[in-house]
């Protein structure tokens, strides 16, 4: 009796994450600035940190908790039905960890990723994403 319930739960979560990724991923990729990956420095929301430090910490903690949950679910989906790799990919972009920006720049510089992202941005009438310098 428990197995059908667990399977139904995993399938439901998988379908929900798939629908969210169909909506959220293109939206995020078309809204980010064209120089997001190519600028050498990272812009920080210093105003949010300075004026409302409590809410900054709360929101950052929630973002990391969601990223951790998606990472665990993505790892599970590698063994059960679902888009595990896409879920892991989204989780890595939500989590804060050392080397995150370098990983993001490495991923976007792969032609198999960069070309479709820029095609999506072209359809949304947004400028193409600029590639990071080759030093990676």
Give the mean model confidence (pLDDT) for residues 13-29: 81
Q: Which residues does 34 contact at the CB level (< 8 Å), separation at least 6?
A: 126, 127, 128, 129, 130
Residues contacting 96, CB < 8 A, separation 6+? 60, 63, 64, 67
pLDDT of 109 strictly over 60: yes
What is d(CA 86, CA 107) in angstroms, rounded to the nearest whole number?
13
Global model pTM greater than 0.75? no
Q: CA–CA separation, 84 vs 126, rounded Å?
A: 29
Return phi, psi of residue 63, to 5°: -65, -45
- The per-residue pLDDT for 78 is 81
What is the CB neighbour count within 10 angstroms for residue 10? 17
- Closest to 64 in 3D by CA, of 98, 95, 97, 103: 95
Q: State pLDDT tens for residues 37-75.
A: 887 766 554 545 566 788 888 888 999 999 999 888 888
List, in order, residues 6 or more apart from 30 with CB less than 8 Å away.
120, 121, 124, 126
Q: How much is the pLDDT for 47?
A: 47
């Amino acid at each position: 009796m428990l197995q059908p319930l667990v399977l139904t739960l995993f399938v439901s979560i998988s379908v929900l994450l798939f629908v969210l990724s169909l909506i959220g991923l293109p939206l995020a990729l078309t809204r980010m600035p064209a120089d997001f990956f190519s600028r050498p420095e990272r812009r920080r929301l210093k105003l949010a940190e300075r004026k409302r430090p409590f809410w900054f910490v709360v929101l950052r903690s929630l973002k990391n908790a969601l990223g951790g949950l998606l990472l665990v679910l993505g790892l599970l989906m590698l063994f059960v039905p679902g888009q595990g790799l896409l879920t892991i990919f989204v989780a890595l972009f939500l989590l804060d960890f050392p080397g995150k920006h370098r990983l993001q720049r490495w991923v976007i510089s792969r032609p198999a990723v960069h070309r479709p992202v820029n095609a999506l941005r072209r359809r949304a009438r947004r400028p193409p994403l600029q590639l990071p310098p080759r030093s990676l």
